[in-house]
Amino acid sequence: MTNPNTYSEAVRQSLQDPESFWLSAAEAVDWYVKPSRALSHEGTSSGTWFPDGTLNTCVNALDRHVAAGHGDRTALVYDSAMVPTQRTYSYRELLDEVSRFAGVLSGQDVVTGDRVVIYMPMIPETVIAMLACARIGAVHSVVFGGFAAEELAKRIDDAEPVALVTASGGLEPTRRVEYLPIVSEALRLSERAPKAVIAKRREGFTAAPDQGWLDWDAAIADALPADPVPVRATDPLYILYTSGTTDKPKGVVRDNGGHAVAMTWSMRNIYGIGPGEVMWAASDVGWVVGHSYIVYAPLLVGATTLLYEGKPTGTPDAGAFWRVAADHHVNALFTAPTALRAIRKEDPDAALAADHDLTGLRAVFVAGERLDPSTYEWTTTALGLPVIDHWWQTETGWAISANPWGMDGMPVKPGSSSVPMPGYDVQVVNESGEPVGPGVEGSIVIGLPLPPGTLAGLWRGEDRFQRSYLAAFPGKYSTGDSGYLDEDGYLFVLGRSDDVINVAGHRLSTGRMEAVVSAHPAVAECAVIGIADQLKGQRPSGYVVLKADATVAPEKLRAEVVQLVRDRIGAVAAFRDLTVVDALPKTRSGKILRKVMRHITAGEEYTVPSTIDDSGVLVGLHERLSPDLAQ
């Protein structure tokens, strides 16, 4: 049986007969043991996919293309605007490097099921390390390079890796970020430090590795290539930590089989990319977009993937993206609205785009945060191309709602992330969990089971998985986002309904920031909320009540708290705003009313909850947070 090639038929079949829809999609993957069934409910509340299948994800991404005679085809293009340099890997070359690095890991006693933490910048060795783990059935956990030592240590303690792979550092426009001291500090803070650390040397960095750490180049030079290890479809491929509402990150677990099937299906049917074509996801390998659409999906379908180290502006100018797209004949570009806003700010007439030959580019895909209609209009006009918004999360690994561009496509509606993808039973519900009608805002939930490729659970966190995703609306997965469906079934995502914020397309926890801000000795209590930001979509804003005996001047306090957040979470938190207030609005039980604070700062109407402790606090807050409104 073949998968349907129209959107409506694909959705119908995926929901009415998921077995045959996904078994047919699984035909695109090479299995050691082909799955005899798609879905199992045994032992899980949310279902597992392809329970009796075995495969190897690295074999699907590399070996099979070489075996099919495509070894000379380009697998990976590395383009760094920071060094600057360009390098190309054929499928054969990438397979060779990956097999040998898998040999390095095996030589360090890493075996199937062991975890390997990867703390690396945007260089080819990061992709090689990830695929090498997949080859031997080890579970990688990539930590974004913008996180500080304490965040890295938390992830090490949770994942308990046998090895850690790193590099000398990363390049930001105004500074070099030395990774080795961060790794050293993280290992010092960690209670579960790995036995082996392997570091890739990069020119221009000064910090030396600690004693006993292996040098990547020396280790790989002597390594014997490792053969791929068959794993069960349900075995974990990776853990990716993401921000929840508390200060402890959530380790999203991705399986091998469902992931390979979903990645392959989505690459072809959403992005319209097939063998030999060029996919560029201008994200970072440390985020889910990087995992799915820089590393796995393009290679699984035999396409070329582009790994870009640089920013959309200032490297060297706001034409950086168009130069890269033209140089490498990119067919599909995936980026975040923030990046487009940054380009627009510096090149409002898109003159730099017109300087480049973008005829290969067929569409621009955006995700990570809401695509505001103005950025949508500007990009569509500037490039004369379809601009396709799609909505998803680290948890789902691929789009929940998108435009089936590689199938028959759907008309684009500005402000909407388009229509639910096959396998996702998307509903908008009220507080009691009842579906609401078209145009009515509510919580966005997904009926179970979630399709293949979505989270297989939280790492050692079954209770938290239940509490975070399944408890609010039993039988349904809570996305944490709110929005509405229109009469045509298009989904409009309006934003998070919890305390997670999205800063420049980076998902961050205000709970974690609050834990750090409260650690300042002058702070009695605090709240951090996300407020609107013209460039970054949202930015964190902190409100503190000082201890009675605190004498620190507000400006000094702000500088100290900003530095504290930078040191303990990382520069990526982009925490800069701090306001001292007399009190925070709370319920009688002492819960801070962050939602009310968000409404005040946005100048919006709100209803004072009947459980509020002291409405006088609100008057004071209005004066501080929004003085114009208070008059």
The reply on whether position 443 binds ligand AMP by CB under 6 A is no
- 472 binds, options ligand AMP, ligand COA, none, Cβ within 5 to 8 A by partner type: none
- 393 binds, options ligand AMP, ligand COA, none, Cβ within 5 to 8 A by partner type: ligand AMP
* Three-class SS state of 19: helix
The reply on whether position 504 binds ligand COA by CB under 6 A is yes
**Which is nearer to ligand COA, 568 or 586 (by Cβ)?**
568
Q: How many CB atoms lie within 10 A of CB 570?
A: 23
- 394 binds, options ligand AMP, ligand COA, none, Cβ within 5 to 8 A by partner type: ligand AMP
Pick the binder of ligand AMP from 200, 259, 291, 496 (CB under 6 A). Answer: 496
**Strand 537-546 relative to strand 577-580: parallel, antiparallel, unpaired?**
parallel
- 311 binds, options ligand COA, ligand AMP, none, Cβ within 5 to 8 A by partner type: ligand COA
Pick the binder of ligand COA from 53, 71, 145, 236 (CB under 6 A). Answer: 145
The reply on whether position 338 binds ligand COA by CB under 6 A is yes
> In this chain, which stretch among 170-178, 419-427, 516-524, 623-631 interacts with ligand COA, using CB under 6 A?
170-178
Pair of tokens at residue 108: 């360090």
Q: Cα–Cα distances in Å, from 147 out to 170, 315, 333?
A: 12, 22, 26
The reply on whether position 289 binds ligand COA by CB under 6 A is yes
DSSP label at residue 470: I
Residue list 231-250, contact with ligand AMP (CB under 6 A) = 242
The reply on whether position 499 binds ligand AMP by CB under 6 A is no
Q: Which residues contact 72 (CB under 8 A, 6 or more apart)?
A: 90, 91, 92
Pick the binder of ligand COA from 30, 52, 172, 210 (CB under 6 A). Answer: 172
Q: Which residues contact 89 (CB under 8 A, 6 or more apart)?
A: 74, 75, 76, 77, 78, 97, 124
Query: Which residues is 530 bridged to in the sheet?
Result: 540
Could you identify the residue written with the tokens 């992931």? 259
Tell me if 479 sits within 8 A of 446, measured CB to CB: yes
CB of 581 to ligand COA, least distance (A): 25
* Separation between Cα atoms, residue 376 and residue 390, nearest integer Å: 12
Phi and psi (nearest 5°) for 13? -65, -40
- 170 binds, options ligand COA, ligand AMP, none, Cβ within 5 to 8 A by partner type: ligand COA
* Three-class SS state of 565: helix
* Separation between Cα atoms, residue 388 and residue 367, nearest integer Å: 9
Ranges assigned E (strand) in 195-245: 196-200, 214-215, 231-232, 236-242
CB of 130 to ligand COA, least distance (A): 16
- 145 binds, options ligand COA, ligand AMP, none, Cβ within 5 to 8 A by partner type: ligand COA
**Which is nearer to ligand AMP, 187 or 426 (by Cβ)?**
426
x/- track of binding to ligand COA for residues 299-328 (CB under 6 A):
------------xx----------------
SS3 labels along 269-294 = HCCCCCCCCEEEECCCCCCHHHHHHH
Tell me if 108 sits within 8 A of 138, measured CB to CB: no
The reply on whether position 287 binds ligand COA by CB under 6 A is yes
Q: How far apart are the first and last CA of the chain?
A: 68
x/- track of binding to ligand AMP for residues 279-298 (CB under 6 A):
--------xx----------
Q: Cα–Cα distances in Å, from 425 out to 11, 255, 422, 629?
A: 9, 21, 8, 42
The reply on whether position 530 binds ligand COA by CB under 6 A is no
Pick the binder of ligand COA from 272, 505, 537, 585 (CB under 6 A). Answer: 505
> In this chain, which stretch among 35-43, 261-269, 331-339, 469-477 interacts with ligand COA, using CB under 6 A?
331-339
Pick the binder of ligand COA from 15, 28, 82, 177 (CB under 6 A). Answer: 177
The reply on whether position 493 binds ligand AMP by CB under 6 A is yes
Pick the binder of ligand AMP from 3, 13, 190, 417 (CB under 6 A). Answer: 417
Q: Cα–Cα distances in Å, from 205 out to 179, 180, 286, 306?
A: 9, 10, 21, 25
Residue list 256-275, contact with ligand COA (CB under 6 A) = none
Tell me if 37 sits within 8 A of 19, measured CB to CB: yes
Helix (H) or strand (E) holding 542: strand 537-546
- 283 binds, options ligand COA, ligand AMP, none, Cβ within 5 to 8 A by partner type: ligand COA
Query: Which residues is 215 bridged to in the sheet?
Result: 199
The reply on whether position 598 binds ligand AMP by CB under 6 A is no
> In this chain, which stretch among 11-19, 97-105, 191-199, 387-395 interacts with ligand AMP, using CB under 6 A?
387-395
Residue list 1-30, contact with ligand AMP (CB under 6 A) = none
> In this chain, which stretch among 3-11, 405-413, 484-492, 503-511 interacts with ligand COA, using CB under 6 A?
503-511
Q: Which residues contact 241 (CB under 8 A, 6 or more apart)?
A: 141, 143, 155, 158, 249, 250, 251, 252
Helix segments in 108-222, DSSP class H: 124-136, 149-159, 179-189, 216-221
Query: Which residues is 306 bridged to in the sheet?
Result: 77, 280
What is the contact surface with ligand AMP in residues (CB under 6 A)?
242, 287-288, 367-371, 389-394, 417, 480-481, 493, 496, 502, 507
- Name the site residues for ligand COA (rule: CB under 6 A): 145-146, 170, 172, 177, 283-284, 287, 289, 311-312, 336, 338-339, 342, 367-368, 503-505, 536, 571-572, 574
